[in-house]
Amino acid sequence: MPDAKMRGNSAALPSLLRISLLLLLCMSLGLMALSTAAHMTQNEQMTISTNVLVQLNDNPNDSVDKNAPSNSTGMNSTETIQAPVTTIPVATFNGTMHGVPGNPTNVKAVASDAQAIVSWDAPEDDGSDPIVEYEILSIIASTNTPLDTIVHVGSANQVPTSSIVPNLQNGISYAFKVRARNVNGVSTWSAKSDTVSPLHPPDLCTKQTCSGNGACFPIYAPQLNDTSSSAECLCKPGHLGHDCSRFDETIKYFWDVSAWSKCSMGCGGGIRQRSAQCVEIQTMNPVSEAKCEGLTQPTLTYICNGFECGTKIIEVSYEIEMFYEDILFSSKSEHAFSTAFLTEIASALQIPVSRLDIESIVRGSIRVTFLLLPPTQAGGKSLNEVVADLHTQIQNRTSTLRTQGTFARRVYPSGVKMSFMIAEQHAAGDVGDISIMGLIGTVLVSVMFISAFAYCLRKRHERILQRKQDRKAEKMKRMGIASSV
């Protein structure tokens, strides 16, 4: 039995030896394959397309298997493309991590006529590859709506960090975002710039005449897709035509409106109101409202002072070298004037129109009282900056405020007054709101106070006299002198 067992083990040795030799042979072949792959020929190169990283061999007609697994970089090779090395930067693989760049920072904008100059700081992280392009996105501030057109900023050498954004609309407020691009892709969008309003051109009404029967009002880009500005005549009641030169005798009545009342609340949202009455054009006397039936009645209320209570605001009184009756002769002309005036002020100060709110327009030489509101987003011009800019432009004859526009430029420099205030939730009122009974009550309270004060003085004087008489009587008694009372 032992001899048989030894013979069996001896027979198994050749089989184990053959298996070991085969394993050694396989390992040798594997090492040779790895060594060959590590030493690529000089004819093989790496090129980059827009979205795919592929490997080329020395035969340009060979293609890569579409079912091949992804490479170590995590990008799938789907086709072979020879990229033009002279025009597209090629990323070098030397152990550095490559990726998309960081987003640009410190985006600023300065508006001019129908355009804006946007500047920014390059991203600190370029993704280990050079920036090849920047993209600028324009956003309508009032609705936060981005425009379809994106401005591309590139260069064969060094890519600039500023550019002009053209074809903007005068009188509309914009903000801008910027992102960077390299061979690996694009960054995220930057934070929005300050809101700016492209400036309107000089007075649009210089070539428009209204025959003395109306007034010219500028129209600053009335519609979103209209980049032009124009002017139109609004005619006084009874007059027609583009220049108000024709009088229509069939028009006999119109709606006449009063001035707007003060806002019912100082903050948190209130209401302004006005009244309307039907007036005969020929006599300018009020008549029954039935006479104006069929005529569009003007708006009689609107919401005001929607800002939060405790908000810091600036009240500005602004006098213009124009007469109220020549410009504000109807509700339509009043609305056109308010719109144009606020647009001109906002454009000159480079702030959104939403930061301005007209409180009142006084007759005589037109005196507009309006509020300057604080910025609604971080980075906007502070109230101190706006006030300083307004004061500087008013005193400078060549400033934008005093050289452009139809109404705001006609300012009396000495007729502008500014005051700081905190919005409070009390109902606004005039001196005329104090009633007669209130005056009588105030007088009665004052008389009662004065009477009480006089009574106290008289009583005090009597007590002093009584004490003097008592001391005198006591002294005479000690001296044995009888006193007669």
| DSSP structure string for 278-344 | EEETTT--B--GGGGTTSPPPP-EEEE--SPTT-EEEEEEEEEEEEHHHH-SSHHHHHHHHHHHHHH
If asked whether residues 347 and 454 sit together in one domain, one would say: no
If asked whether residues 285 and 143 sit together in one domain, one would say: no
If asked whether residues 127 and 235 sit together in one domain, one would say: no
Q: Does 440 reside within a domain?
A: no
* Paired residues of 319 in beta bridges: 367
Whether residue 388 has pLDDT greater than 50: yes
Q: What is the pTM of this model?
A: 0.56
Domain count, the chain: 4
Mean of pLDDT over the chain: 79
CA–CA gap between residue 255 and residue 237 (Å, rounded): 9
With a CB cutoff of 8 Å and minimum separation 6, the contacts of 143 are none
Q: Does 255 reside within a domain?
A: yes
If asked whether residues 114 and 218 sit together in one domain, one would say: no
If asked whether residues 350 and 319 sit together in one domain, one would say: yes
CA–CA gap between residue 269 and residue 10 (Å, rounded): 106
Whether residue 126 has pLDDT greater than 60: yes
Q: Does 314 reside within a domain?
A: yes
Residue 398: pLDDT band (50, 70, 90) is confident
Q: What is the pLDDT of residues 296-340, one digit of tens each?
A: 989 999 899 988 899 999 999 999 999 999 999 999 999 999 999
If asked whether residues 237 and 383 sit together in one domain, one would say: yes
If asked whether residues 246 and 175 sit together in one domain, one would say: no
Least confident range from 13-22, 228-237, 249-258: namely 13-22
If asked whether residues 72 and 118 sit together in one domain, one would say: no
Antiparallel, parallel or unpaired: β 312-323 and 411-422 = antiparallel
What is the span of the domain harbouring residue 52? 39-88
CATH number reported for the structural domain that contains residue 113 in this entry = 2.60.40.10
Domain final residue pick, 167, 186, 205: 186
Q: Does 3 reside within a domain?
A: no
Whether residue 16 has pLDDT greater than 50: yes
Q: Does 206 reside within a domain?
A: no
CA–CA gap between residue 328 and residue 363 (Å, rounded): 9
Q: What is the pLDDT of residues 18-67, one digit of tens each?
A: 777 777 777 777 767 665 544 444 434 343 333 333 333 444 444 434 44
Residue 80: pLDDT band (50, 70, 90) is very low
- Angle among Cα 59, 63, 66 to the nearest 5 degrees reads 160
**Residues 427-452: what's their mean pLDDT?**
67
If asked whether residues 83 and 122 sit together in one domain, one would say: no
Q: Does 47 reside within a domain?
A: yes
Is residue 432 packed enough to be buried (19+ CB in 10 Å), middle (13-18) or exposed (0-12)? exposed
Q: What is the pLDDT of residue 477?
A: 77
CA–CA gap between residue 146 and residue 148 (Å, rounded): 7
Query: What's the half-sphere exposure (Cβ side, CA atoms, 13 Å) at 266?
Result: 15
**Residues 438-446: what's their mean pLDDT?**
78
High-pLDDT (> 90) share of the chain, %: 40
Whether residue 144 has pLDDT greater than 50: yes
Q: What is the pLDDT of residue 482?
A: 58
Q: What is the pLDDT of residues 335-354, one digit of tens each?
A: 999 999 998 999 889 888 88
Q: Does 441 reside within a domain?
A: no
